[in-house]
Amino acid sequence: MKEVEIRRLLVANLLCALSIVLTAVVPSFFLEGFTVLGTHLTWLCVCSVCVGTLNVILHLVLRPSQSPKRSSFAQKISRFLKCCIYFFMSCILFHAIIVLYGAPLIESVTETFLFAVLLSTFTALQCLCILGPNIQAWIRVFSKNGAMSIWESSLQITTVCSILGAWFGAFPIPLDWDRPWQVWPISCSLGATFGYMAGLIIAPLWIHWNRKQLTYKSR
């Protein structure tokens, strides 16, 4: 396994983590009264847009899943439209799953959907960037020993960490602490964000430590 590729992954992941930190600081210079807790819905939008845009740019620059086959302009447009549809469907799916896990069905619809968009940005968007709109490839990557590159291994780790972070973030909500961050969906979205950032840092380190044991074979 090439050390150069691991370094590229580390740099890309650190940039993504840095972008999240900046979304909590930079908007306060342009938006009056902006805070992560006080204007949480605004922060959810800013974070989703910034992280999503950076992921797409890094994918275009680093090309971790570059195919040897050249595609036509029409094929690229078709792929882009499919990715947009898949991303929207993932937002709807996450929204439905979150409601099934106890989120308000009618009340706080906007909050729930923006949280679903954030989760989709941390998970589905990365899958679309690396794997494209290919459900079979998604299933392969998240099956046992299904990763075929360090980028796919990183995708596994960051996706699982994001979902676990969101899940653990729900635990404080029913407690009677009466803290501002217990309002839906602040603790869950912060949990997902911290989980995603942890995954970004853990992934390249874990791959580096286990590089001798990791053998990626073409399938």
Q: Is 31 left (phi over 0), alpha (psi -120 to 50) or beta?
A: beta
- The pLDDT value given to residue 217: 59
Query: Is residue 37 situated within a structural domain?
Result: yes
- The pLDDT value given to residue 146: 80
Average pLDDT over residues 6-16: 94
DSSP-assigned letter for residue 65: T
Share of the chain above pLDDT 70, in %: 95
Retrieve residue 152's tokens.
């796919």
- The pLDDT value given to residue 206: 93
Whole-number Å distance between alpha carbons of 130 and 144: 18
Retrieve residue 181's tokens.
């961050």
205 pLDDT exceeds 70? yes
Q: Each residue of 121-141: pLDDT tens digit?
A: 999 999 999 999 999 999 999
Q: What is the DSSP string of 169-190?
A: HTTTTTSTT--GGGSTTHHHHH
Report yes or no on whether pTM surpasses 0.75. yes
Q: How many domains does the chain have?
A: 1
Share of the chain above pLDDT 90, in %: 72
- The pLDDT value given to residue 210: 86
Average pLDDT score over the chain: 91
- The pLDDT value given to residue 219: 46
Query: Is residue 179 situated within a structural domain?
Result: yes
- The pLDDT value given to residue 166: 96
Query: Is residue 67 situated within a structural domain?
Result: no
Q: What range defines the domain where residue 52 resides?
A: 1-61+73-218
Query: Is residue 66 situated within a structural domain?
Result: no
Average pLDDT over residues 42-59: 96
